[in-house]
Amino acid sequence: MEIITRLRGIKDILPDEIEKWKKIEQTFIEISELFGFKEIRIPIIENKFIFVKGIGTNTDIVMKEMYEFKDKKGREIALRPEGTASVVRAFIENKMYMKQKITKLYYYGPMFRYDRPQKGRYRQFYQFGVEIFGGKSPYFDAELINLLNIAFDKLGIREIIFLLNSLGCENCKDNYIKKIKGHLESNINKFCNDCKVRIEKNPLRIFDCKNISCKKTVEKLPSIIDFLCNECKEHFEKFIKLIEKFGIEYKIDPKLVRGIDYYTRTVFEVNFKNDEIAIAGGGRYDNLVRDMSGPDIPAVGFAVGIDRIVPLICDDKMIKNDVVFLVLLGENARKKSFEIMKNLIENKIKFETDYEDRSLSEYLRVVNKTGIRWCMILGDNEIEKGVVILKDMQTGKQELIENNEIVNKIKERIKC
Ligand code: AMP
C-alpha cells in the first residue's frame, strides 16, 4: 500500500530541530513579557469575514491564499492566515479596551496560506506576533523595533536590516494614489496581468510585485513619503529619530507597502542582509479597530516568521547544556538509576538514558551524538564507593561526586 504523506507545503517539526524552535519561541516570549505584553490565545478557525474585512478584499491573502470551507451548518470558515485580524476581533468582542488605556498582547502559533510552496514559504507556518492597542505615539512604533532588535540579537541573528516606511493616513494614501494613477494608467501595458487588476482596485499593491517590468516601471514613481501630511510626516520623523538613537541599522524604503490593507503610517520589515528574505513585518493600523466595528483606537504590531529564523540558529549553540545522560554500566547500575532519577526529577534536572547493555566507550559515542554536554557514569565500582562520575563531554574533564552531592554539583555545573 502506498504511504499517505503530509500535504504539500506543510512540514513536520522533528525532535532534532525542536530545541531551536523552543529557543526562538522562548526568547520572543521572554522579551515581550519584559516589555509588558500578555499572552492571548486566538482560535485557529474564525468566521472568514474577520479576515476579508481586516486584511482587505483585494489583497493576495484574501483573494488567493485563504484556506476556506463551510462547516456542517454552512457557515463560512477560514483557517487564520495571520494573527492581527483575530486579535482585533478578540479585543473588540471581549471589550478589552474597557480595562486600561494601553493593551499589549502577544500570540504564537500556526498560520495558513495557500501560497506557492518554495524555500522559506510554507502553507502552514508559525508566527510570533505582538499588538499594542491604545497608543498613537511614535514611541510605541519604536518600542516594537527595539523589541525585535533585542530578540534577534539575543538569538545571535545580526545580519539583518530594518526597512522602514510610512504610508500616511487615509488622506495621504488617497493623495498619493491620485498622483500616481495617471502614470500607472499611461504605462498600463508595462504591467503584468495581476498588476493591471491592482492598478484598478488597489494601486499600492503594485510595489509588491516581483515582475521585472513592473518593478522598473514603479521605480520612476515619486516617493509616498513626499506626500505625507504634516502630522504623518512628524510621526515618521520622530520614529526615525528614535531608531537612530537606539543605533539600529535601518534603511528607509519608500516602496515598502506590505501585503495587507490595514496599515496606516509606519510600516516596517526585517530582512536578511544577503538575500532580502523577510523574517518579520509589521506596522501601524490606526483605523482597523474602528473599521471592524470597535471604538476608534489606534494600534501597532508585528509578526515574526519563525520558520525562516530556525535555519539561522547555530547548531553549536544547541549543545544541550542542561541535560544529563545517565551512562548505566551493568544491571546493578540500571537498578540503582531509578533512585537517582527520582532525585533528579525532584530537583527539576533533565536527564536521558536508554538502559542498553554496552561498554563505556560505546556509551560515550551514543552520548556524543545526542549533543548532551553532561554524562553521569555509574558502574559497579561507583555503586560500591557511593559515588558517580560526572563527565563534561565538551572538555573531557571528569570528577567523582559523592551520592549525596549529586544534585548540588550538577546544578553548579549546569549553571556555568
Ligand atoms: P505577514 O503576515 O505577511 O506580514 O508576514 C510576516 C512574516 O511571516 C514574514 O516576514 C515571514 O517571515 C512570515 N511568513 C509569511 N508568509 C509565510 C509563509 N508562507 N511561509 C513562511 N513564513 C511566512
Question: Tens digit of pLDDT for each residue in 163-193?
Answer: 999 999 999 999 999 999 888 888 888 899 8
280-323 residue pLDDT tens: 999 999 999 999 999 999 999 999 999 999 988 876 545 678 89
> Strand ranges (DSSP E) for 60-188?
68-70, 76-79, 103-112, 124-133, 160-166
148 and 283 both lie in a single domain: yes
Whether 27 and 137 map to the same domain: the answer is: yes
| Beta-bridge partner residues of 302 | 130, 282
Does 178 fall in a domain?
no
Q: Are strands 299-305 and 68-70 parallel, antiparallel or unpaired?
A: unpaired
Tell me whether residue 242 is in a domain.
yes
Atom of ligand 1 nearest to the CA of 278: 10
pLDDT of residue 319: 67
Write down which residue in 282, 312, 342 finishes a domain.
Answer: 312
Nearest-atom number in ligand 1 for the CA of 81 is: 2
Of 312, 337, 372, which one is at a domain's C-terminal end? 312
Q: What's the CA angle centered on 250, arms 247 and 252, to 5 degrees?
A: 135
Looking at the structure, tell me whether residues 349 and 267 fall in a common domain.
no
User: Residue with the nearest Cα to atom 14 of ligand 1?
Assistant: 305
- HEC-encoded secondary structure of 325-369: EEEECCHHHHHHHHHHHHHHHHCCCEEECCCCCCCHHHHHHHHHH
For ligand 1, is residue 17 a contact (CB within 6 Å)? no
Strands ordered across the beta sheet of 372-378: 350-352, 320-328, 372-378, 387-392, 398-402
Name the domain boundary from 275, 294, 312.
312
As for how many domains the chain has, the answer is 2
CB-ligand 1 contact for 227 (6 Å cutoff): no
In a domain, residue 153? The reply is: yes
Q: Which residue has its alpha carbon closest to ligand 1 atom 17?
A: 121
| Cross-strand bridge partners of residue 251 | 163
Please give the pLDDT value at position 58.
Answer: 81
Give just the sign of the alpha carbon dihedral 314, 318, 319, 322.
Answer: positive
302 and 257 share one domain: yes
284 lines ligand 1 (CB under 6 A): no
Which tens digits make up the pLDDT trace of 66-108? 999 999 999 999 999 999 999 999 999 999 999 999 999 999 9
Query: What is the spatial distance between Cα 124 and Cα 307, in angstroms, rounded to a whole number?
Result: 10
Amino acid at 333: A
User: 252 with 379, same domain?
Assistant: no
- Domain with 303 in it: what CATH number? 3.30.930.10
Q: Is residue 327 part of a domain?
A: yes
Distance of CA 70 from the midpoint of ligand 1 (Å): 26
Pair (257, 396) in one structural domain: no
Q: Which domain holds residue 235?
A: 15-169+229-312
Decide: 117 in ligand 1 pocket, CB within 6 A. no
One domain for residues 48 and 142: yes
Q: Are 245 and 386 in a shared domain?
A: no
Q: Is the CB of 112 under 6 A from ligand 1?
A: no
Has residue 202 been placed in a domain? no
- At 320 the pLDDT is 77
At 315 the pLDDT is 66
Q: Assess whether the C-beta atom of 259 lies below 6 angstroms from ligand 1.
A: yes
Cα separation of 108 and 303, whole Å?
Answer: 9
Rg of the chain's alpha carbons, rounded to an integer?
27
Q: Which three cell numbers stand for residue 384?
A: 560500591
Q: Ligand 1 within 6 A of 127 CB?
A: yes
Percent of the chain at pLDDT exceeding 70: 98
Are 327 and 305 in the same domain? no
**Contact in structure between 91 and 133 (CB atoms under 8 Å):** yes
> Are 405 and 292 within one domain?
no
Does residue 214 form part of some domain? no
CA-closest candidate to residue 394, choices 344, 320, 326: 320
Ligand 1 pocket, residue 110 CB under 6 Å:
no
Question: Does the residue 130 lie in any domain?
Answer: yes
Report whether residue 303 contacts ligand 1, using a CB cutoff of 6 Å: yes
* Residue 395 falls inside a structural domain: yes
Ligand 1 centroid to residue 113 C-alpha, Å: 9
236 with 347, same domain: the answer is no
Q: Which residues of the chain have pLDDT under 70?
A: 315-319, 415-416
| Pocket lining: 312 vs ligand 1, CB cutoff 6 Å | no
Q: Which residues contact 252 (CB under 8 A, 6 or more apart)?
A: 163, 164, 165, 225, 240
Residues 290 and 402 in one domain: no
279 alpha carbon to ligand 1 midpoint, in Å?
7
Task: Determine the pLDDT at residue 176.
Answer: 92
pLDDT of residue 257: 87
- The CATH number linked to 345 is 3.40.50.800
